[in-house]
Amino acid sequence: MLSRVADSCYWLSRYIERAETNARLLNVNMNLMLDLEDADKDSVRQHWQPVLASLEDQELFSTLYDHIDAESVMEFMTFEKKNPNSIISSISAARENARTVREQISSEMWEHLNKLYLYLRTEHARSDYRQTPHDFYRSIIDGSHLFQGITDATMTHGEGWDFLQAGKYLERADSTSRVLDVKYHILLPRGESVGGNVDLTQWMAVLKSCSALEAYLKIRIGHVTAWDVAEFLILHPTFPRSIRFSVDHMDRAIRRIAGSSASGFPCEAERLSGLLRASVDYATIESVFEVGLHQYLDRTQLRLIEIAATLSKTYCEWLDETASAA
């Protein structure tokens, strides 16, 4: 497979996953806002600031908007073209990548993504967003799910597919770690205790942001505690958005790409990914909190960045070469 194609497949699915995460995060936080009693400017800011912080987009945001409120954060993360991580930028980038590999992916995948892109650029999308934001975000999430389903069912599960999987799960592991990290940035309102009502609502929101509340409740009947939520989202072996699950599937895709046996690690990306997988496999929630939740998540994100860079270096080294020559 051409290196350029591999690179595009990988980024294509990262961008779609990113748009989906944004949609879910915004949807949940918007709903949560509706529960806020007597929301004043401060509490609104306190509500949205952590979302921006977790995405590390605060700096750009502040150059574009005066203050943090629901409208500006939602606009920034949904339709702002100057924000490379907004939903519209992510879908556009995904589509641009898909366009360069159209002959490699199935027509069904391309057409679906193209329609989603065209929809987002219409006035129709704008009005859906204004009038029924919940449905609007649902349609983005559904659009991403549909894309995964179409991909699964129509594309050969070969190297291109493996790059798509590697990108998707790497982005997802990163997203879940960031969503969980939102909680770190939340300052509890004065007078509110850890484990109190507000705290509980916030942890539930974290779960919802990963579409994990229902799955979680089936396992920890009724108990929503910081400890348990973190354990679930980091370590659960079979929930498809947990870090452990995502890292596991990313690792499998990377191994398939390398095509090496179970025992050796001839390629550096494979070694790093295996290392992360093993460390998540053997982690306990106690060990995570010992390091500190935020620190643990931060470290995980750094390791993912390192894996991404090594993947690119191993399989797409030419592309850097071209870039530096240009």
Partner 1 sequence: MSAGEVPAFLRNWQFDLALGRAVGTFPAYMQGMFTDYEVGGFFDEMFDSAGKVRPHYAKLLERFSDMEPAELERKNALAASSYLSQGITFTVYSGDEGTERIFPFDLIPRIVAAKEWEHVERGLVQRLTALNMFLHDVYHDQRIVKEGIVPDYIVNGAKHFRPEFMGFDVPKDIYIHVCGTDLIRDDKGNYLVLEDNGRCPSGVSYLLENRQAMKRVFPGLFAKHGVRPVDRYPQELLAVLRHIAPNDNPDPTVAVLTPGIYNSAYFEHSFLAREMGIEIVTGADLVVQNQRVYMKTTKGLKQVDVIYRRIDDDFLDPLVFRKDSVLGVPGLVEAYRAGNVALANSIGTGVADDKATYYYVPAMIKFYLGEEPILPNVQTFLSAVESDRKYILENMENLVVKSANESGGYGMLIGPHATKEQVEKFRQAVIADPRGYVAQPVISLSRSPSFCEGNIEGRHIDLRPYVLCGEKISIVPGGLTRVAMKKGSLVVNSSQGGGSKDTWVLDEEDEPSVAEPSQSQTQSSSSTLA
Give CA–CA dist 168/149, Å, rounded. 13
Q: Round to the nearest angstrom and report the end-to-end CA distance of the chain.
A: 23
Instruction: Sketch the per residue contact string, 144 through 183, with partner 1: x for CB under 8 A, - otherwise.
Output: ---------------x------------------------
Among 74, 166, 257, 269, binds partner 1 (CB under 8 A): 257
Q: Angle at the Cα of 65 (from 63 to 68), degrees rounded to 5?
A: 120
The smaller minimum CB distance to partner 1, of residues 101 and 304, is found at: 101
Give CA–CA dist 78/66, Å, rounded. 17
Q: Is 225 helix (H, G, I), strand (E, B) or coil?
A: coil
Residue 298 CB, shortest distance to partner 1, in Å, is 31
How buried is 220 (Cβ within 10 angstroms: 0-12 exposed, 13-18 middle, 19+ buried)?
middle
Give CA–CA dist 279/276, Å, rounded. 5
Site stretch for partner 1 (CB under 8 A), options 51-59, 100-108, 125-133, 242-250: 100-108
The smaller minimum CB distance to partner 1, of residues 109 and 304, is found at: 109
> CB count, 10 Å around CB of 131?
9
The smaller minimum CB distance to partner 1, of residues 38 and 103, is found at: 103
Give CA–CA dist 287/285, Å, rounded. 5
Residue 157 CB, shortest distance to partner 1, in Å, is 16
- 12 touches 101 (CB < 8 A): yes
Site for partner 1 in 112-151 (CB under 8 A): 114-115, 118
Assess 291 for contact with partner 1 (CB under 8 A): no
Among 42, 66, 103, 214, binds partner 1 (CB under 8 A): 103
Assess 11 for contact with partner 1 (CB under 8 A): no
Site for partner 1 in 37-96 (CB under 8 A): 96
* Residue ranges binding partner 1 (CB under 8 A): 1-6, 96, 99-100, 102-103, 107, 110-111, 114-115, 118, 159, 257, 315-316, 318-319, 322, 326
